[in-house]
Amino acid sequence: MTLSPESLIYVAGHGGLVGAAIVRRLQAEGCQNLLLRRSRELDLRNQQAVDDFFATYRPEYVFLAAAKVGGIHANSTYPADFIRDNLQIQTNVIDAAYRNGTQKLLFLGSSCIYPKFAPQPMPEDCLLTSALEPTNECYALAKIAGIKMCQAYRKQYGFDAISAMPTNLYGPGDNYHPENSHVIPALIRRFHEAKVQGLPQVTIWGTGAPRREFLYSDDLGDALVFLMKNYSDIEHVNVGYGEDVTIKELAGLVAKVVGYAGEILTDPSMPDGTPRKLLDCTKLFSMGWRPHVQLAEGLDFAYRDFTAVLP
């Protein structure tokens, strides 16, 4: 039995960037039996609350997209929050899903699980082969634990739990906080504000040399539903775009989309993070899935979303 429009599906974290994209994809396929709870309605860090929820509703399929997330600043400033909250969320949900008869669970990780100096592009089997990037180590360790928990429950209990590791994401409903956001929403906000204020220059963190890969959130939602339907194995699966750009090149693209014509400077005194993060998506692409949204097009969509929610 596979996921169908009649399936009872719980999307944990549906209010976030990834969860909302999963919901949009499921609804486009006619799925209406969706269990959706905001964190104020169901605190996934609370084991008893999670147990009660699963015992009451017994979802057939679970997309575990709920997590505490943030950029370099947030990860390095609040490491205890990132490791504690994420370990609690994923442990509670994975265990409750298994004990209450969930047919299949998809756990969402992050490309930061891979070593700082991993081979490029990063294959799935380079996990735990060398040291992690220090600035987001606690978040990465929590996500690695989630992968291993899914694998352990598959081995010991036969629970059909799979894991997907997405690259850097952006899209509608992103977090545009001035300090705690990821690189694309942070750049969108800064260039927009610079345009409005008429600033002649914008300075970006670091040297601008690191290379990053970016995937539009709705492409990820499509890929995750595809994996839920078509993949069942112990190894995690990379989900990426297949190409990367430098942060300086990205800044130029964002500035063009926003309409900012000033100078873009770099600040080498600020951390660069991992030198390069490009996923090897051979496994996923060989299954027949490919992304659809080009970076320039996706940035335009994201900027429209940002301006739509401005006060």
Q: Which residues are annotated as a binding site?
A: 13-19, 108-111, 143, 166-169, 182, 190, 205, 212, 272
Q: Which residues are catalytic?
A: 139
pLDDT of residue 273: 75
pLDDT band for position 135 (cuts 50, 70, 90): confident
Instruction: Determine the Cα–Cα distance for residues 203 and 262; give it in Å rounded to an integer.
Output: 11
Q: What CATH code would you report for 9-171+214-241+279-294?
A: 3.40.50.720
Looking at residue 131, what DSSP letter applies? P
For position 128, what pLDDT does the model report?
96
Handedness of CA 197, 202, 203, 208 (dihedral sign): positive
Supply the pTM of this predicted model.
Answer: 0.93
In this prediction, residue 54 carries a pLDDT of: 98
Domain ranges of the chain: 9-171+214-241+279-294
List residues forming the annotated binding site for substrate: 190, 205, 212, 272
Give the angle 145-146-150 at the CA atoms, nearest 5°: 115
Known binding-site positions for NADP(+): 13-19, 108-111, 143, 166-169, 182
- What is the spatial distance between Cα 24 and Cα 185, in angstroms, rounded to a whole number? 21
Q: How many residues does the chain have?
A: 311
Mind listing the pLDDT tens digit for each residue in 179-214?
A: 667 889 999 999 999 999 999 999 998 999 999 999
Helix crossing, 247-258 with 183-197: angle to 10°? 50
Cβ-based burial of 251 (10 A; exposed 0-12, middle 13-18, buried ≥19): buried
